[in-house]
Every structure is written in C-alpha cells, then in structure tokens.
Structure 1
Amino acid sequence: MKASKKQSLKQLSIVIILLIAANIAGNFFFKRFDLTKDKRYTLSKSTLDMIKKVDKPLYIDVFLDGQFPPEFKRLEGETRQMLEEFRAYNSNIIFNFTDPLADESKAEQFVSELNGLGFTPTNIQSNKNGKKSMIQVFPWAIANYGTKSVRVPLLVNNFGNNADENISKSVQLLEFAFADALTKLAVTEKKKIAVMKGNGELNDKYLADFVLNLKEYYLIGEFNLDSLANDPNKTMQNLAHFDAAIIAKPTEAFTDSEKYILDQYVMNGGKTLWLIDKVAADIDNLQNESQSAMALPVELNLDDMFFKYGIRINYNLVEDLLSTPITARSENGDFPIDWLYSPIVKSAENHPINKNVNLVKLEFANQIDTLKNNIKKTVLLKSSPQSRVVGTPVEISLHQFMDELNEAQYSKGNQTLGVLLEGKFTSAFKNRVKPFKANQELDEGKANKMIVIADGDVINYTYVNKKPLMNGIDQWTQQVYGNKDFLMNSVNYLLDDTGLINIRGKNVELALLDEKKVSDNYTFTQFLTVGLPILILAIFGLVFTYLRRRAYSK
C-alpha cells in the first residue's frame, strides 16, 4: 500500500511540475490552434499585421446584444469569438457588447442617437411566449481609436438570400469588417488617386459619397488634362504622381493629345478605372409632352485605344427583366414604372472584386465585347439571362415597358457589362504619328491592370434614376445596392491592396439544418436529436448498473 501511495504521489508531482513548466513556457511562446474545417478563426497575415499596429487602446462597442432569433444569436456569437481572436493577439483591443433596447426608459433616445450616426436598424420577427412581434436590431459596431471613429457593419442583406444565407455571408465578412476598420483607423501612408475632369465628367454631387469613402484609404485629387494645354509633357509628368485615375462618365470627346497622355500613363503602370457611357440617354430628357426622347451614340474618341487594349464598348443599350423601376408621381403619390434600362446585376462571385457583393445597380448600360490578345480578361459584371441589347439611335419612352412584355424576346442574356483587364498593354499609338513628342514614350507597357465598366452611372449609387435614396435603400426593391462595395473592391485590387480583398473573399461555411429535410423527416429527426441521446443514456445506465451488481456480488 505504501509503495502504491508513493507511486501515486510521484505521478502527481510529475503532473504538477509539467503543468507549471507549460504555464511558464506559455509566457514566452504564443500559439492558438484552429480545429474548424474552414479555419474560420485563423486570422490572415494581413489582419495580424494590422492588429500589431494598434499601439494604444482600441475600443469596440458592438450593439448586437439581447434576445434574438437563433440566426442572430449565431451572428452575435461569431462576432464575439472573432473579437476574442483579435484581443488574443493584442490586449490593446477592448470590446464590449451592448443592447440599445435593454433600458426601456432610455431606449428611444439611444435608438434616435444611433439613427443620427448612420446606424440603420434591421427589423426582424420575434416569437416570444407564442406572440409574434417586430423588433429592431442594430447589427453594427463602432471602433474608437484615439480621436478617430469608424462604423463597422456586421450584417449582409443580399438579394435572393434567406436569413440563414445572409447570416452565413455576414460571418464570412466579419474578419474583413473589423480588419477594414483597423485599416481606416491606423493607415498613415496613402496612395494617390486622380479624379479626371475636363471632358464633361459626372457632376461632383453624384461622386461625393464614393469619393468620401475613398478618402478613408487614399489621397484624392482632381486632375484636368487640359490644365497645361501648352505643355503636354508637364501634364503627363503631373499625372504620373498619381497611382490610379478614375474616369467617370465623360461626355466630351478626348483630343488625341489627351488620349496619348492617358495611354502613356497606362504604359507606365498607372491604374485606371473607366466608367464609360457610349450612348447619350437621360431620364430627364423624357420630361416633355410626348414623354419620349432619342438615345444617341456618343463619340469619345476612345474606341481605338480600348480596341488595342482588348475590348470594344458597343453603341447599344441593354434591356434586362431584372431591373429597378423608375418613380412616377400622380395625385395619389409615387408609383413605380418598369424600366428595363436600369439593370440590377447579381454578382457571379468569380473574383475577389465581386465576392460577397450585393446587386449592382446600372443605368443605360452598354454591352462590351472582349477581343483576343495577350491580355487576361475577367468578366465582373454581366446582365441576367433574361436580357437583350438594342441598337442606337433608338427612341426611348417613359411608358414603353408598361404593356405586357414578350419574355421570349429577352433570351440573349449574360451580356458583358464590366471587365477586368490584366497584363502588359500595347500602346494605341504604336506605329502611329504621335500628337506630340513625349520625353519618355513607351510602345509596350509595364505589367498593369484596368477595369472598364460600360456605365458611367455605376458610381452614382446614392440615386436611382435621378431619385435620391433614403438611407441608401431603394423604396421599390428594398435593396441596399452593392455598387460602393464593388467599386471600393475594384480600386483596392487595382492598387494592389490585396490584403483586404483576400480577407473579403474568405469562405466560411456554417453548419445549418436543411429545413426541407427536417420537415420531410420530422419524426425521425426528432427521435435522432431528442430520443436517441436519452436511449443511449438509459442503455449506459442499465449496463453500468448490471456490471456494478455483478462485480459486488462476487
């Protein structure tokens, strides 16, 4: 007995010593193990790099707390676990979960303050004690770092998805949402983007929201190609100071000199985002007695340049049955009119740029042809299968889609509307007379990227068919369109900020019950989830009792 006791004490001492040694080692070595199949709690290198830059307290208040339906409790739990991962790598990250509706006496004031700060609530159905009711949920967080504050959206609400699918998408984007907030708060060195002016580009009020969002990541400046018309080389030199250029819906033709400056900018590695309309069509032109107007081709003097780069934007319009209506007014108030010239594009999610992006709203979009050359082309936006193209000039009328449509005519869909081009571009002026002698001219360009979207109004996402959106929501489709996310992803990708892009493309698969299967096999499922565990427990108890009696009966 004494020998056995000594052996037990010896083993206990060894265990205690090993535990103490492990704790001491833990102070010098840090390692977390993610046993999930999709590695949902393994933070990317880009995120870890951002976390390391947090050198003072970063306070994150999450408004996702309270009595929610199961899917929102799942989002709350995943958000909490994600923030625990962030805090595990940097103790300066401090988070707190708050229920804005917890104190009924202050709830109304709290909700009003949140709405004023731009935290739009989501209404969900709650079933409590057999009574159904609508409750407000604020799936948002706010990150405070020094004097800076950033809103963090936690919920994705994509068109065509049910609640579980949207929660799954939201979980996929949690790391991106908080990493994006850290980037906005901690970024110090910013790349430069030129917003091109001088060729009748889109009015500033339609660009304002996107430019404000870009300023959180980049330095923005206007650039006019004819500001130094007598010294094009100086203009070319000034443009080279910018890392990227946005050309948003020009309506006046570019001169050969202006086109050559842009061409050489591309040859030297300058990134470009082209938002081009090849047809002049505007809803304001329908405000006449006949409520009709002609849609006419627009000559921008860019065709040969785009052709050399590997695409052609055609002088036509895309009609799509998946579209957003326009708003008309009567004595009884606003009412919608079908308007097939405003397609809403569902993302194919074939690239990090359009991954996890909601519907993209377009207006009077043109169709793009991709041409064979050495440039890699990735289609980012395309019309629905139920669409077609119509040539121009063509008369458009406010009431042309009010009569019953023959859907069989809309069978030439999947038209290309936006494309990413990557590779070494050849100059449009190769083997041609140059408009002026450049100090350093290139006929073959450096490795580069550009994005071309055949709709100038894609950047005008705070309006739908000239009508401002309330809180970004289309009153007829009840959608918050994904234009801003798509365009931000586009700029991030062009400027090689692939860290955020890759985080956004992360796949996380939540194990959700198949409701149809559960309904079809309800009795079996009930037995499997409730009855089987009880049966196993009962069998274990009987076997344990039998073995115990048998052992003691001897």
Structure 2
Amino acid sequence: IAKPTEAFTDKEKYVLDQFIVNGGKSIWLIDQVAIELDSLFNSKGSSMAFPRDLNLNDFFFKYGFRINPVLINDLYFTQIVLATGEGNNSQYNPVPWFYNPMIFSPNNHPVNNNLEALRFQFANSIDTITNSYRKTVLYSSSPLSRPEGTPKMISLDIINTPPNKEIYNDGSKPVVLLIEGAFNSAFTNRIVPLKLEGTQLKGDDNKMLVVADGDVIKNQIRNNRPLELGYDKWTNNFYGNKEFLVNSVNYLLDDTGLINIRNKKVRIALLDPEKIAEQKTKWQLINVGIPVLLVFFFGFIFNTFRKRKYST
C-alpha cells in the first residue's frame, strides 16, 4: 500500500483487516504528512506541510503502532539539486536538504543486512505500542535528528542557514518497523461494516512491514521512463531502496534463502607477500620444470613402446 492520499473507509479497512488475519502479507508505505518537494519549487520556495488524515490510526493501534504526523529533520541527509541562472546559463547545484534523511542499516536482521543507506523524503516517525506482537525496528533516523510537528511552513531558505546542532537531541526515531505474530482482527468486539465470507477474529502467525515514508518506493523519471529504484539522477548516487524492498518481500513470503544469497559476503584470500618473495624461484622451477620433464618422460615411454612393437 504505497503512499495513499485519501482516507480509508471502514469497509476498506475491514477488507484489509480480514486479508491480514487470513494470512495475507502487507507492506504499508505511509506519508502521514502532506508535503511534496515539487510544491516548494512551484510556490516560490515555500509550502505548508499539513497532517494527512488517512483514518488509519485506530486500525494501526490494534496492530501495535502509530505513525506520527511529524517530519524528520536529520543532519545525515541526502542532497537535492537546485537550478540557478536562466536558459543556457542554468547550473544545477546539489544542496543539503535536511528533510531527506539518509537512513543507515543497523544490520540487525536479514532484511537490512549489508545494505546501502536508504533515501527517505519527508519521513515521519513510528511509535510502538505494547501488545503481544513481536516488533523489530529495522531502520531509525540518525542520533543527530529531531522530529518537527505539523502544520509547519517548509522553505528552501533553510539551505542557507547553518543548522544549530545543539537542538538535534531527540534522534534515533524508528522509521521502519516489522511486526510479527498471530494477528487478531482490529474489528474484534466491534460492529463490522459489511459481511464477508470466511471471516476470522484470530489468524495464524503472520508478518507486516510498516515504512513511515511513501516515497521509499518511488522511482525517478528520465525521458518519460522510470530509472532504477534507488538511483538519484541529479547526484548520480545509488541508495539501497531497491534491495531493501526486495528483501522485505522475500522475508514476508518466507523466502529467506534468496536474502542470504544476496547478502553473502565474498572474501578473497590474499597471498602472503613474504612467502612470495622467499619461494618465488622454487615455484617458478616447479611450474616450468615439471611439465617439461613430464613431456620428456612420456615421450621416452612412447618411443620405447613403438620400437618394441614395430622392431623386427
């Protein structure tokens, strides 16, 4: 479910709830704040960020988490490119953008093991709620980050203002959460909005992934064609978004073998330079001399055999 922008109805939530309780795997990529970088470029450099009401708070609460309508401001950031000049004199310069966090992997799970940093855009934070489900924080913002509440005016002018590092003291906010367990229906002890066949109140072990940013799965476009996920055409940088999502799907589908193969480290054993210097001549003689001796030996045997066979 990638970056929904309209509120879900109770009927839609009940269908999703029964899909999950009946064993369906789900990945939620949610933007809890409505703000786009394009809106800054199209409105003279500033735009208002508003909380986005998707009518999912009660639904998420039952599964043990909450996505907060805040924006992560992070000193570990990815860059955006701004154009200066006009016409043929235009120049494109990369500049820091604190609302595009660069999220590094803690390497604490098969999904995020040995992956490059992820690129987030206007990310939110996730709070966990105590219940019976197992929760694993796969990614968090850096320690030098802080959440900013909304509504809030976002302006491109922040790139010209050096950040005050002293106020970045509320970091390490979860942005990717894995939930596992035997999920109960979020509509337990509630009046269901419609009748469905095969409904259940409690299912078997299942998995759910929650990402507090809908743009993690977004490709950039060049010549009306999508570029590889994770590639930034402006800065020519690659991020691990694609590998993260592929690993996530494989893990949800219990296909951990593919994850382990992709994340396998190959170490090449290097030769000892001291032994090379000491034994260089010996191994040269062995590699050159032995094949020559073998040729002479087998040639002698072959000639001897021929003489005995054809001699009168």
Q: Same fold (TM over 0.5)?
A: yes
Q: Deviations over 1:489-509 (max 9, x none)?
A: 111111122221232343444
Letter in 2 for 1:390: E
| Residue 190 (structure 2) aligned to one of 432, 443, 446 | 432
Cα pair distance change 1:411/1:423, threshold 3 Å: same
| Residue 306 (structure 1) aligned to one of 42, 60, 64 | 60
The 5-angstrom pairing of residues 138-537 of structure 1 reads 247-288=1-42, 290-331=44-85, 332-462=90-220, 473-474=231-232, 477-511=235-269, 528=274, 533=278
Unaligned runs of 5+ in 2: 283-312
TM-score of the pair, normalised by structure 2: 0.80
Q: Deviations over 1:336-392 (max 9, x none)?
A: 232111112111121111122212111111000112111111112211221111111
Give 3-state SS (helix, strand or coil) of 1:399's partner: helix
Give 3-state SS (helix, strand or coil) of 1:249's partner: coil
Letter in 2 for 1:271: K
Unaligned runs of 5+ in 1: 1-246, 514-524, 538-554
Letter in 2 for 1:419: L
Give 3-state SS (helix, strand or coil) of 2:237's partner: coil
Cα distance in 2 for partners of 1:322, 1:402 equals 17
Deviation at 1:250, TM superposition (A): 0.3
The structure in which a higher percent of residues are helix is 1
Q: Deviations over 1:155-178 (max 9, x none)?
A: xxxxxxxxxxxxxxxxxxxxxxxx
Cα distance in 1 for partners of 2:276, 2:270 equals 18
Percent of paired sites with the same residue:
51
Give 3-state SS (helix, strand or coil) of 1:380's partner: strand
Give 3-state SS (helix, strand or coil) of 1:296's partner: strand
Letter in 2 for 1:267: V
Check whether the contact 2:230–2:241 (CA below 8 A) recurs between aligned residues.
Answer: no
Cα distance in 1 for partners of 2:254, 2:235 equals 34
Cα pair distance change 1:345/1:512, threshold 3 Å: farther
Cα distance in 1 for partners of 2:176, 2:56 equals 16
Check whether the contact 2:78–2:101 (CA below 8 A) recurs between aligned residues.
Answer: yes
Letter in 1 for 2:30: I
Cα distance in 1 for partners of 2:227, 2:146 equals 27
Q: Deviations over 1:39-65 (max 9, x none)?
A: xxxxxxxxxxxxxxxxxxxxxxxxxxx
Give 3-state SS (helix, strand or coil) of 2:142's partner: coil
Give 3-state SS (helix, strand or coil) of 1:500's partner: helix
Cα distance in 2 for partners of 1:473, 1:438 equals 42
Cα distance in 1 for partners of 2:172, 2:44 equals 33
Letter in 1 for 2:34: A
Cα distance in 2 for partners of 1:495, 1:267 equals 15
Check whether the contact 2:229–2:242 (CA below 8 A) recurs between aligned residues.
Answer: no
Deviation at 1:511, TM superposition (A): 4.8
Cα distance in 2 for partners of 1:312, 1:472 equals 26
Check whether the contact 2:219–2:228 (CA below 8 A) recurs between aligned residues.
Answer: no
Check whether the contact 1:367–1:389 (CA below 8 A) recurs between aligned residues.
Answer: yes
Cα distance in 1 for partners of 2:142, 2:194 equals 44
The structure in which a higher percent of residues are strand is 2
Deviation at 1:289, TM superposition (A): 5.4
Cα distance in 2 for partners of 1:530, 1:271 equals 55
Letter in 1 for 2:52: V
Aligned CA-pair RMSD: 2.5
Cα pair distance change 1:313/1:463, threshold 3 Å: farther
Check whether the contact 2:105–2:116 (CA below 8 A) recurs between aligned residues.
Answer: yes
Deviation at 1:472, TM superposition (A): 6.4
Deviation at 1:326, TM superposition (A): 1.6
Check whether the contact 1:271–1:450 (CA below 8 A) recurs between aligned residues.
Answer: yes
